[in-house]
Structure 1
Amino acid sequence: MAYPDVGYRLLSLYRYWNIVHYFFPYKYLTDTNWREILSKHLPNFIKAENELAYELAVTKLIEEVDDSHVLLWGKNAIFSQNKYQAPYIAKWVEKQLIVSSRIPVLKKPNYHYQLEVGDIITEFNEMPIKEVIKQKTSLIAASNFKAKMLRLGYQFFIDSKKLSSITVIRKSKSLSFQLNNLPPNNIDFNQVDAPKVVGSHSILRGNVGYISIGQLAINDVDLAMNELFDTDGIIVDLRQYPKEPTLNELGKYFVDKPVEFVSATGAELGNPGEIGNKGKLKVNPGNALYQKPLVVLINEESQSQPEFIAMALQKGVNTTLVGSNSGGADGDMTFFYLPGGLKTSFSGVGIYYPNGGETQRIGITPDVRVEPTIEGIKKGKDELLDAAIANFGHSGQRFRDHPDSRDPRFLLT
């Protein structure tokens, strides 16, 4: 059923509304009161005159959940309309949308890149950037503004046409270009966000250990910690999704006693509408305790399992979280289907601190706020990692004790 009739379209709306109403643990956090959603979206579902209009109606509906675990599969009409992309990624930096990277192309080795990393985008397809952001983010489900902008950055250069017009500011000059868009299969998306430090673990300058959670397997943890145990500090980078669920194996090296780090809630299936307490989880110590400083890197790319790991590592004996607030979508995903061959999801488990403190939509808050700059991105720097390394090697002091904390980049939140 590619395009459901009006009866099935209404079923889609009612089904989604009821599933969220009775089973979503964060319904109370949505920007719009959930009781107002049915009447707000009913006209869109009734008037959806084709498959594309129906998919857009569903997309606008699920955006109301304000949850970065909300995704939609089966959007064939939307995908067929937006079938080209220029090989760039955008990023929200210093309250500007900039070109943050060029993506390698696969079938056009002589592709002419007109945009440079660091270009500030002011117009796209003859529309002011503020209007473009407003229009595009209305179709992006996310927990908060930065999470929306993260997703927008990956989607920004998608277009229905082979040519897109863009205006940017480069070296204080306004420049306009016609971008040559490509079919997605001509773009090497595997090279997007490739880690700057290769391997699951390494020793960086200054005898600082580094662990990449995106490359760390469970069987690597003990080997990594054995090699890094004599370092002057360890950085755990949570800005990628974990390769494997390494929380227990990694966390045991940084706590000296069993300690609760999370409290969970979830739907009581026997009593629809009730969200019950599902208990608290602990991180348990192992046989060896790493007592030197541990720095955990987080930002809006740290979503779901990385946030869970950050909450556990926060309980370490000498831990400092550095970066910016994480994505704000923790807990297992729940999946279900809607008419028209659509599949969607949301956060099915509520995740809180043991004292009841919120994490959803807020994210995990760093102890020390460090954010990238346009100038740093132009130079290819990893400013969070550089800041972490720079603050080791001072008599084992933690971040907050270091005299360089007077630098605004190192101010406590």
Structure 2
Amino acid sequence: MRKKIKYVISIIFILGLLMSFGFFYIQKQNEYKQIAGISNYSSKNISDLAVLCKVWGYVKYYHPSVIEGKYNWDDELIKMIPKVLKSKNKNERNRLLTEWVTLLEEFEQDSLPKFNPDSIRIYPDLDWIEDKKELGTLSNQLEKIKTAKRDFKYDKYIQYSGMTISGEAEYNKPLYPVTEYRLLALFRFWNVIQYYYPYKYLIDENWHKVLKDFIPKFIEAENELEYKLVILELVTKLNDTHARIEWDSTIEKWKGNRIAPYEVSFIEGKLVVTDVYEVIDTINTNNSIQVGDVIISINKNLINNIVDEKIKYIPGSNYTARLRKIADLILRTNKKKLEVEFLNEGKHSKTELSCYNLSQVKIPSKFNRDDKLFKIINDSIGYLYLGSTQGGEVPQDIQTKGLIIDLRCYPSYDKVKGYWDYLQLYSEPNVFVKFTMGDSKFPGLFKYMGETTVGSENPNAYQREKIILVNEITQSHAEFMAMKYGIAKNTIIIGSTTAGADGGVISLKMPGGVLVKFTIAGVYYPDGRETQGIGIIPDIIVRPTIKGVKEDRDEVLEKAIEIITSP
């Protein structure tokens, strides 16, 4: 009898421990979903958090004492979140924020700078601080900060050191931050874009609306993957091919650690097999799918549906650039097989593709290849491929009927010499570009930094026809070189839409060990036209065709040869 009693007591004790542990676990999990004890947030809470985000970011970049690092501004935000959420109405919220801002160190006043309107590309988006109906007397405090004297050499947050926005605390652990720190990630990114992104005016959606839309998404992210995907979705809103989350194991696993060993591209609106990859120590026995075949579905999911599912996580300046990135991912998976429906010579077929670990598959770079820097093609035409991994020096004494410069690549700047100032192409100096950068003394302002010239008086310049080849692979530095070479006399650009992402790239650290990247400098033609989003517009549009892929032809190069050799 005593044994039975002991047994029952033991069972009750164990059940009690399990229930306690379960309660503790649920409680800890709920901490990730709650802010200040609020789990069922309202539209008022969202509006209050949006105002807090904007005030916090504005003061961060405009108040002299905060700029100089005299306050732990992240910590101030974390402490203010529950206070603002517990405010009963707009007036109480504004009173809290007014007291918060007023308690900061006093500063000297200055007058607003006077600018030549012709030198300004973007004015700061500060109309919201004048909304007295929304902000009450807080508006007066914010107006005062706008005219603060910001005459200093040190800025804690904007230093651009090593192409990283320095001064930001990393918070690498935990990988799935609690709610307040997830909101810190959103607020940090939103405000950097608000004041330092040169192409904010090109974002499709109102940036203030984006903030309100994403506050619930960051609150509701239930695990590390959801949190990082929400960041990726937010980054995608920039419409910037440069924008991305730097390599992250969680995101990579989501993309898939395996791949079917085929290169695919979107050609004529269809997903087309363009190459077969080599698999290390394995023979790819699936010969049913060939170069030129059109893939219709993957695992019974139509390609158009897959594109629609993925595209909100695929940053890109234009649709073509985003399709390029989707094509690189679409055959990645964590499964060992993919069921594929495809068209071969108009005939529907199905097959199962074996998928291999990424480390087993030799995936060549689309941006560079092992090819000669310069060679003669078609007997008398010079062909210069700046993505050459063999490198070398660009030719100076060119004795050819024409010159083709292939920028369907990323220039190998560490191996190719002489391409930057390729003076042999220019018979006279020409202005080809001007830049904008953000202004840390008046954040949100973007001024032109002057025009840049290339070339010099050169009676011995190469006078014959020069043709530049571009496509969706032509991105950033390659687009810049297309602008630069394109200004030379007797030069035409042929091909298709480029990636539309020019200007330097900068990094921003986010809670959870996430590193995001995006464009930081504005790049414009001398007349003010941007390449961002639009890309380099070819003089002659030439795109690959499915027929050309099947015949292993380079139709863009063929067109360039045709132009040079035509009478």
Pair in the same fold by TM > 0.5 = yes
Retained in 2: the 8 A contact 1:143–1:360?
yes
1:406 alignment partner in structure 2 = none
Deviation at 1:74, TM superposition (A): 4.4
Deviation at 1:357, TM superposition (A): 1.3
2:347 alignment partner in structure 1 = 173
Q: Map of 1:10-21 to 2, 5 A cutoff?
A: 10-21=183-194
Q: Distance in 1 between matches of 2:288 and 2:421?
A: 44
Q: Map of 1:35-50 to 2, 5 A cutoff?
A: 35-50=208-223
1:339 alignment partner in structure 2 = 511
Q: Map of 1:324-403 to 2, 5 A cutoff?
A: 324-395=496-567
Q: Single out whichever of 381-390 and 238-247 deviates more from structure 2.
A: 238-247
Structure 1: gaps (5+ residues): 396-413
Q: Secondary structure at the match of 1:344?
A: strand
Deviation at 1:190, TM superposition (A): 3.1
Q: Secondary structure at the match of 1:190?
A: coil
Alignment of 1:51 with 2:224, yes or no, is yes
Alignment of 1:238 with 2:407, yes or no, is yes
1:127 alignment partner in structure 2 = 301
Alignment of 1:258 with 2:432, yes or no, is no
Q: Secondary structure at the match of 2:518?
A: strand
2:450 alignment partner in structure 1 = 279
Q: Distance in 1 between matches of 2:211 and 2:418?
A: 40
Q: 1:286 to 1:113 in 2, by over 3 A?
A: farther
- Structure ID, larger Rg: 2
Retained in 1: the 8 A contact 2:393–2:418?
no
Deviation at 1:206, TM superposition (A): 3.8
Letter in structure 2 aligned against 1:145: Y
Q: Distance in 2 between matches of 1:200 and 1:132?
A: 38
Q: Distance in 2 between matches of 1:33 and 1:336?
A: 22
Q: Secondary structure at the match of 1:89?
A: strand
Q: Percent of aligned positions with the same letter in both sequences?
A: 32
**Higher-strand-fraction structure:** 1
Retained in 2: the 8 A contact 1:253–1:285?
no
Deviation at 1:112, TM superposition (A): 2.8
Q: Distance in 2 between matches of 1:215 and 1:129?
A: 33
Letter in structure 2 aligned against 1:263: K
Q: Distance in 1 between matches of 2:439 and 2:384?
A: 38
Q: Single out whichever of 255-264 and 239-248 deviates more from structure 2.
A: 239-248
Q: 1:126 to 1:140 in 2, by over 3 A?
A: same
Q: Secondary structure at the match of 1:253?
A: helix
Alignment of 1:89 with 2:263, yes or no, is yes
Structure 2: gaps (5+ residues): 1-172
Q: Distance in 2 between matches of 1:276 and 1:249?
A: 25
2:374 alignment partner in structure 1 = 201
Alignment of 1:5 with 2:174, yes or no, is no
Q: Distance in 2 between matches of 1:31 and 1:164?
A: 35
TM-score (norm 2): 0.66
Q: 1:168 to 1:194 in 2, by over 3 A?
A: farther
Q: Distance in 1 between matches of 2:348 and 2:191?
A: 49
Q: Distance in 2 between matches of 1:191 and 1:299?
A: 15
**Higher-helix-fraction structure:** 2
Retained in 2: the 8 A contact 1:241–1:303?
yes
Q: Single out whichever of 250-259 and 132-141 deviates more from structure 2.
A: 250-259
Q: 1:116 to 1:303 in 2, by over 3 A?
A: same
Retained in 1: the 8 A contact 2:371–2:389?
no
Q: Distance in 1 between matches of 2:182 and 2:442?
A: 27
TM-score (norm 1): 0.90
Q: Distance in 2 between matches of 1:123 and 1:218?
A: 40
Q: Secondary structure at the match of 2:556?
A: helix
Corresponding residue to 2:461 among 260, 266, 289: 289
1:34 alignment partner in structure 2 = 207
Alignment of 1:68 with 2:241, yes or no, is yes
Alignment of 1:311 with 2:479, yes or no, is no
1:404 alignment partner in structure 2 = none
Give the number of aligned pairs: 390
